[in-house]
Amino acid sequence: MKKISLLFFGLILTTTTFAQKFGYVDTQYILEKMPEYKDAQAEIEKLAKGWEGEIQDMYQKVEAMEVELKAEEVLLTKEMWEERNAEIERKWNEVKEYQQSIFGFDGLYFLKKKELVKPVQDQVFEAVERVAKNNRLQIVFDKSGDLVMIYTDPIHDYTDFVLEDLGLVENQSVDNN
């Protein structure tokens, strides 16, 4: 019996010694509360619409060249048609390359988004770190990330602490009527 008691005590000691405190936050919710993030998103959207307009104009010009070639096809020699068709193909390639340079991986859109959003995300991550240290959390999950959380107990939600750390908590008065 004494061995069982010692084993049980050892198990409890081991469990409490190695128990880790954890919590989670919803960084997307936090970011949406930040005016800096909203401003960055608005600027990115404005840039994207401008680039989309440029690309659309380029597409329309090449399509017009195709329509013109089709209309004049019977009037052109084979060499003239091939030359104009090659020019159209070259223009299509230019449009696709330009589109890739803007919206492709490591394109201007991606780089601009990174430039504008990263400082705001860094603020959130620093606040999460402070909250984690203040609350002695060893692990903090991001509820809005790719990690699927089937169930979360609100007692472990530290989102409001991060909002408070960032100065984004609105004074909410409770009406007791």
34 or 17, higher pLDDT: 34
Whether 1 has a pLDDT exceeding 70, the answer reads no
Read off the pLDDT of residues 35-74 as tens digits, 9 standing for 90 and up.
999 999 999 999 999 999 999 999 999 999 999 999 999 9
- Of the candidates 164, 148, 139, which has an alpha carbon nearest to the alpha carbon of residue 24? 139
Q: What is the pLDDT of residue 5?
A: 37
166 or 148, higher pLDDT: 166
At 136, the pLDDT band (50, 70, 90 cuts) reads confident
Per DSSP, the residues of 1-57 read: -HHHHHHHHHHHHHHHHH---EEEE-HHHHHHH-HHHHHHHHHHHHHHHHHHHHHHH
Domain boundaries along the sequence of the chain: 18-165
Q: Which residues touch 29 (CB under 8 Å, ≥6 apart)?
A: 144, 159
Q: Is the pTM of this model over 0.85?
A: no
Whether 17 has a pLDDT exceeding 50, the answer reads no
The long-range contacts involving 68-72, CB below 8 angstroms and separated by at least 24 positions, are: none
Whether 119 has a pLDDT exceeding 60, the answer reads yes
CATH tag for 18-165 (out of 3.30.910.20, 3.40.190.10, 1.10.375.10, 3.90.1150.10):
3.30.910.20
